[in-house]
């Protein structure tokens, strides 16, 4: 006997327990490294449903500048799948795609992806981008079938179990200022492959506090500029918030003027800042095509964890 059909709709507040449970149970390889706080997800969802935040999100959508969207697949009133969609300048970023075990193989993920693609076309985004574990062959096959192609590989690196809580003292590391953006943009563009730059171009938002859920992480995200002879020559972003017990270091940007001693000092500074916030450790997601940054995290004692493949779909070519 065929199971009843399902439909795809927008997230509702009552879906929060399903969302939190799936994040904790269906992404085990990632959770073993970065951890997950279900209560943190509840706090973020509660915050997203505050009247002032909902009004602000609605205004952004009216201005055709949406921030994020959550999709739920539902069968007879019960959620059976989900996905997160964040909006960039030229591409949407799809994450946390999951189907409940009893509904796998029935087209749930394909339908959710279709809804996300339709939303991106509605707001004029020509590309969709996502990351998938290299070990997840089933998901990689599905995404290729939907028209996705690989553009970059990355790896998550794990630092010390407990971030160093040492005092912060530095005359050449400071928080990001508006005047830093132009030199940092030049450095970042030089390290970005053309296929990545086409769909997720380096721009001022690259150095913003964060998009999607990261925009709701509060004051826990900081951008640090690395100076060489007073000139911005590198950049770090540290994030510690409600969703994970460990601190996150975005792919560090190290310009050619920074020596190894300066790069290692910058990582120690980031670790110290995260330790002072209460982080239990530090992880860093790093593209595989950045050999200087990779050598630096290795020298700093980071060890490799899981690998990811970034995929891109041209929405004009696949309707």
pLDDT in tens, 53-64: 889 888 888 888
List CB contacts of 130: < 8 A, sequence separation 6 or more.
93, 94, 95, 97, 143, 148, 310, 311
Grade residue 213 by pLDDT with cuts at 50, 70 and 90: very low
* In the chain, alpha helices (H): 16-25, 28-34, 38-48, 51-62, 108-122, 137-145, 181-190, 194-199, 260-277, 291-299
**Interatomic CA distance for residues 156 and 113, integer angstroms:** 25
Check if CATH label 3.40.630.30 holds for domain 7-152: yes
Q: What is the mean pLDDT of residues 68-87?
A: 94
> Thinking of the domain 160-301, which architecture would CATH place it in?
3-Layer(aba) Sandwich (3.40)
Position 164 scores a pLDDT of 60
The better pLDDT of the pair 96, 209 is held by 96
Taking Cα atoms as reference points, which of 158, 154, 124 lies closest to residue 251?
A: 154
Stretch(es) of the chain classified as CATH 3.40.630.30: 7-152, 160-301
**Interatomic CA distance for residues 196 and 310, integer angstroms:** 9
117 alpha carbon, distance to own chain's centre = 18
Position 23 scores a pLDDT of 85
Q: Is pTM, for the whole model, over 0.85?
A: yes
Grade residue 217 by pLDDT with cuts at 50, 70 and 90: low
Q: Is the pLDDT of residue 219 over 70?
A: no
List CB contacts of 286: < 8 A, sequence separation 6 or more.
154, 155, 156, 157, 251, 252, 293, 294, 297
Residues 265-290 pLDDT 10s:
999 999 888 888 888 889 999 999 99
């Amino acid at each position: 006997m065929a199971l009843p059909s399902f439909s795809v709709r927008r997230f509702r507040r009552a879906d929060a327990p399903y969302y939190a449970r799936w994040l904790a149970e269906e992404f085990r390889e990632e959770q073993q490294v970065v951890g997950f706080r279900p209560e943190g997800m509840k706090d973020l969802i509660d915050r997203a449903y505050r009247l002032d935040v909902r009004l602000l999100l609605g205004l952004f959508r009216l201005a055709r500048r949406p921030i994020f969207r959550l999709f739920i697949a539902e069968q007879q009133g019960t959620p059976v799948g989900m996905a997160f969609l964040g909006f960039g300048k030229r591409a949407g970023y799809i994450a946390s795609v999951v189907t409940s075990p009893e509904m796998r193989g029935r087209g749930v993920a394909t339908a959710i992806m279709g809804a996300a693609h339709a939303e991106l076309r509605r707001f004029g985004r020509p590309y969709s981008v996502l990351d998938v574990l290299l070990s997840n062959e089933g998901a990689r096959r599905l995404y290729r079938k939907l028209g996705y192609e690989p553009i970059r590989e990355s790896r998550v690196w794990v630092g010390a179990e407990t971030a160093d809580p040492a005092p912060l003292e530095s005359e050449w590391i400071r928080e990001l200022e508006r005047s830093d953006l132009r030199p940092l943009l030049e450095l970042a563009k030089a390290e970005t492959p053309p296929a990545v730059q086409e769909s997720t171009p380096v721009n001022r938002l690259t150095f913003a506090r964060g998009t999607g859920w990261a925009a709701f992480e509060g004051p826990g995200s900081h951008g640090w500029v690395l100076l060489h002879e007073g000139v911005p020559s590198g950049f770090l972003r540290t994030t510690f918030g409600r969703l994970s017990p460990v601190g996150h270091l975005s792919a560090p940007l190290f310009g050619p003027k920074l020596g190894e001693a300066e790069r290692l000092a910058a990582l120690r500074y980031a670790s110290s800042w995260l330790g002072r916030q209460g982080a239990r450790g530090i992880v860093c997601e790093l593209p595989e095509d950045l050999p200087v940054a990779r050598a630096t995290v290795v020298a700093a004692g980071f060890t490799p964890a899981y690998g990811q493949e970034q995929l891109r779909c041209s929405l004009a070519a696949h309707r």
